[in-house]
Structure 1
Amino acid sequence: MNGLRGVLKAPVRAWRRSLAFRFVVSALVVQAVLLSLTGAWLVQQTVEGLTALGAAPTDEARSILTRAVAQRILIFLPLSAVAMYVISVQVIRPLAAARSTAQALASGDLASRMAVTGSEDTAALARALNHMAEELSGRLRELEEVSLIQQQFVSDVAHELRTPLTTVRMAADVIYEARAEFSPVSARSAELLSREVDRFESLLNDLLDLSRMDAGAAVLAAEETDLAQLVRDEVASQQQLANAYGSALVVDAPKSCLARVDAMRVRRILVNLLTNAIEHGEGRPVEVRLRHSGGVVAVAVRDHGVGLSEEEQEQAFTRFWRADPSRLRTVGGAGLGLPIALENALLHGGSLDVWGRPGEGAQFRVLLPVEPGGPLDSEPWPLVPPEVGDGARP
């Protein structure tokens, strides 16, 4: 980015000097016009004053003064118009063109260019601005290519690991089932092996799922589902983990809430959100709310733990990103849970957003249309928790 700034630095400095010079010259011309017209007006006022005092000038003097005023007007009014035109063409128009191009580039339209016209300095600025746009476009293409290569690499590795993992899984299961025949140390090792294989298998499944989503091959098996019952079931399945962390799970949901969704994918969303809230909830209650309004269903998972800063909120759905690496390493987080939850929400035509504040916890809210791909035209539950004061309970 510093290199791109350097491309514009010299042309902008030269352009500023050129514009300043033209502006000063034009201003001096306008000032001369105004002074000249003012002088003519004063002469006219003098004539009228003398007339009022009885010292009326002769007709010849009056005629000379009238011609002088007319000559000043005829000479300096065109000069004034030319000065105004110069200010418009040399100062205002290039500024407007540069601003318009810069705004287009900032909004993501990297194909926008500034016309290379006008004075040498203005043309130099246009060339520099266009060169910067070319540099940005090139770097964006490079990043897209690197991203595609990375996605393909992850997909290839995940598929290559599937077969050996299946073999390891079978061996680990046999050892785990026979652990009662081992010594205490060996039995404990068998349990650890089985647990780590489970973690590795879960990570591999996540990578495979993401690769399918990146390739556009993910399939949505939507069917009518009672989301209220699904939420209660998933909360119950996470009760053991919540007990281990000392967190109470609180469900606030209607008796029934029907929607056409992929139940398996919604379960994955809930599992990831609940696990994240429990692990970062500092042993405080975790609240799960479900609301329905119009054609939209909202599920919000709220914890009262460490919270998130604004920078962390922006990174929350980045793959392999972890808010606190040292902390998450002890619970096995790989930084894929939230990105997968987001992708599953988007696959339904929904959304997943986060609010957080350091020391006040966080809330993740997923919005799902009752029909896949339906509009998200309502907000059954606010993203900012009502008790914080920035949201309003519906």
Structure 2
Amino acid sequence: MNPPERTAQATAPRPEPDPLPGLPLSRPEGCPFDPPTELARLRDTEPLRRMRYPDGHLGWLATGHSVIRKIGADRRFSSRYESLHLPVAIPGVTTLPPATLGDLTGIDPPEHTRYRRLLAGNFTVRRMRALTARVEEIAAEHLDAMERQGPDLDLVAAYAHPVPALMICELLGVPEDEREGFRNRAATVSGTSATAEEQYSALTALGEFVRELVPVKRAAPTDDLLSDLTTTDLTDEEVAGLGSFLLAAGLDTTANMIALGAFALLNHPEQAAALRSDPGIADQAVEELLRYLSIGHTGVRAALEDVEVDGTLIKAGETVTLSVQAANRDPARFTDPDTLDLSRTATGHLAFGHGIHQCLGQQLARVELRVALPALFTRFPSLRLAVPPEEVPLRDDMNLYGAHRLPVTWDPTEG
């Protein structure tokens, strides 16, 4: 005797929900530091959800902190650019070419392991902390210049960009007499006033500069990263590729983090006051800002084989977009996650990624942020926005979030 129809209906598998039509991008109105509201809803209900990519690929969106950590640590997921589908449409681009020589972001082991192992000794906590005194000097020099220039200036151009640019010069060993030209070209690449052709030309010139510097370092090494790499079995082309990659990875990221961190603190004056009154909280303040802002808001991986994650099967070849900004606001990991609280212990955030592709230069970024932000708010206690917050031009259309410009002012009688 056949079972009643209602029993068959009760035991039938639930249909899979329709895939998301694309990556949610719209931030809440008037909340420039918060992720898109839809990401929070998905994280709390479906931390791993089917998503349709702009090219038609049916892949996944991961929003939960735990899920993203698992995927980031699983070597069955690839970072090779040519294996990925893009979560956001780029005009004229359907697929990405393979990574250029030295680009650690777009390669997998064993090539990735070889390069990373050779670089790791240059990014130890001890070595980065040894650079603290130089960061302090560079920050002080630019704060002095700001004071001489007077109020009403763009903090990005005057401070947030040049500090990490000059630290990259220190790291790579750019000669003193070449640093101004190096910094100017780097500013052109990251700036908004230059045309696309001017930016491409400046980027090409920077790459050529690094290539020309490598044989000089090999012939007469100094105490810097490029010189250290010339003592390995790497070719000149590989050393130049790694140097160019570190330049691109370490400049725009930290510059935007300084700018957006300052913007967030100016919008949370009680937090800025806490940092100003107790510079000793700088370490935890930086970790909290990294968590809260998550300027590198997404990562992308592709499954090399069928992988089950929290009971969900991700098939070989399927792309997964990792929403770092959603994960860093996950209430399952952080209490009251949408509140900026510099007294919080924010360890475990994913701002630098997770797994073998975790940011190699994170210790240098931390040193720069721990110096630059407290120094700024200590030097200018009355620092404030020179325009309403909604008029600050943000990098909504770019992979790295931040501010194109940050107009600020202060009481000229202080200092």
Provide the TM-score with structure 2 as the length reference. Answer: 0.24
Q: Which has the higher helix share?
A: 1
Provide the TM-score with structure 1 as the length reference. Answer: 0.24
The structure whose RCO (Cα within 8 Å, separation 6+) is larger is 2
